[in-house]
């Protein structure tokens, strides 16, 4: 059975992306606009979500998250190259008595030509376009916020996102460690012609826990690294099939701490994807082959060290996971988007419970309203 599934995947790969589904409808980007200079706008973003994991394995717990996010913001277009935003992020988990999370949103966004500089609340989460072993899609639902500095380059031949964010700031005598996270995600187009596109992606994520003024001097400084590089080949069509593609990466993990306390000092994985986008939805196949891999912010399913409630610390050096997924994504009304996903996976190392799945349902509304013109 295992050999048959791998063969089916390889055949599909040879015929036919996104390393995961297209998440553009879930993104919310606000940028300077010369045509809006001097205007004050109200920007509203609402994401409603259900994500259910029917999992019984050693690496990813089975549970359901069900709720909504609201991001109301005021946007002042102060200059053709500058936008100022201020607002609030709300998350409500259904079944919880009150609001689950409230955080401020503020940013200064400078843009000139293809270059953007953001200070404050970043265009983070899934908008970095990391692959799942490096960044877990679920974080977009539970806490996608990042505060720091971000540099974006968006040219036709190259796209780059470099950023740094503070997770925990310390003060003199704090009883917890300082935590900083940052990274880079880029893609360079090598060739593009007649609907074909060949590109080389690269991305990394690093996390540092340390500081010199906290009270935890006995706790060692920790620095962890995840990185990935690979090759992507896409072909666009006219008709029922819109695009076929294959995105393939080699992914790495490294503990760069002086005093290392992780189960593995280093590891790697192979992330192969192949898929097609059609007018009836998107079909995607993914294979993950991991070896001693630990992720910083990625999906726990792909780790070699368990974070499960009842299996925490359990290790499995080699992981082989095959996923075959389907998504239907549609703009039902102007600015109102539907996204339904069904994502079964096969654990090729455990024949006793191979087939497991998660499924998701999202409704997103995002709209900007002009309030007034400030002279």
Using left for φ > 0, alpha for ψ between -120 and 50, and beta otherwise, residue 194 falls in: left
Cα Rg for the chain, rounded, in angstroms? 21
What is the rounded average pLDDT of the residues 34-45?
A: 97
CA distance 314 to 50: 29
| Residue 199 scores a pLDDT above 90 | yes
CATH numeric code, 2-23+114-357: 2.40.160
CA distance 59 to 372: 52
User: How is residue 302 written in tokens?
Assistant: 């792909």
| Residue 5 scores a pLDDT above 60 | no
10 Å CB burial of residue 352 (0-12, 13-18, 19+) is exposed
User: How is residue 212 written in tokens?
Assistant: 């010199």
Q: How confident is the model at residue 344 (pLDDT cuts 50, 70, 90)?
A: very high
255 strand-pairing partners? 224
Asked if 305 and 263 touch (Cβ cutoff 8 Å), the reply is: yes
pLDDT for res 2: 43
Q: How confident is the model at residue 15 (pLDDT cuts 50, 70, 90)?
A: very low
Mean pLDDT of the chain: 92
CA distance 246 to 10: 11
Run of H or E residues at 236: strand 222-236
Q: How confident is the model at residue 217 (pLDDT cuts 50, 70, 90)?
A: confident
| Residue 67 scores a pLDDT above 60 | yes
Nearest CA among 259, 284, 262 for reference residue 274: 284
Nearest CA among 105, 104, 44, 100 for reference residue 67: 100
Phi then psi dihedrals of residue 78, to 5 deg: -75, -25
Tens of pLDDT, residue by residue over 233-266, are: 999 999 999 999 999 999 999 999 988 889 999 9
pLDDT for res 208: 96
pLDDT for res 92: 95
């Amino acid at each position: 059975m295992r050999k048959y599934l791998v063969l089916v995947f390889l055949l599909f790969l040879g015929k036919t992306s996104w390393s995961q589904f297209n998440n553009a409808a879930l993104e919310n980007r606000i940028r300077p606009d010369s045509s809006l200079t001097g205007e004050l706008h109200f920007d509203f973003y609402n994401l409603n979500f259900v994500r259910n994991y029917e999992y019984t394995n050693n690496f990813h717990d089975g549970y359901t998250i069900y709720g909504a996010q609201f991001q109301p913001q005021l946007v002042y277009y102060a200059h053709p190259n500058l936008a100022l935003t201020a607002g609030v992020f709300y998350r409500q988990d259904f079944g919880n008595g009150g609001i689950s999370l409230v955080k401020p949103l503020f940013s200064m966004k400078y843009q000139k030509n293809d270059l953007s500089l953001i200070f404050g609340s970043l265009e983070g989460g899934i908008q970095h376009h990391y692959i799942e072993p490096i960044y877990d899609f679920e974080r977009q639902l539970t806490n996608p916020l990042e505060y720091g500095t971000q540099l974006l380059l968006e040219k036709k031949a190259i796209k780059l996102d470099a950023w740094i964010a503070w997770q925990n700031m310390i003060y003199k005598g704090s009883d917890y460690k300082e935590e900083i996270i940052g990274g880079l995600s880029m893609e360079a187009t090598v060739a593009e012609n007649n609907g074909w596109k060949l590109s080389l992606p690269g991305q990394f994520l690093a996390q540092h826990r340390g500081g010199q003024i906290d009270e935890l001097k006995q706790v060692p400084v920790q620095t962890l690294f995840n990185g990935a590089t690979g090759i992507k080949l896409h072909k666009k069509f006219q008709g029922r099939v819109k695009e076929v593609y294959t995105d393939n990466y080699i992914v790495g993990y490294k503990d760069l701490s002086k005093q290392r306390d992780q189960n593995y000092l280093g590891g790697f994985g192979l992330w192969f994807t192949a898929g097609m986008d059609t007018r009836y939805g998107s079909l995607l196949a993914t294979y993950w082959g991991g070896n001693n891999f630990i992720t910083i912010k990625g999906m726990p399913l792909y780790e070699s060290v368990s974070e499960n409630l009842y299996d925490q610390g359990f290790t499995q050096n080699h992981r082989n996971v095959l996923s075959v997924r389907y998504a239907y994504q549609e703009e039902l009304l102007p600015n109102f988007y539907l996204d339904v996903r069904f994502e079964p996976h096969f654990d090729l190392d455990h024949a006793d419970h191979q087939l497991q799945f998660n499924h998701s349902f999202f409704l997103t509304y995002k709209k900007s309203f002009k309030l007034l013109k400030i002279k």
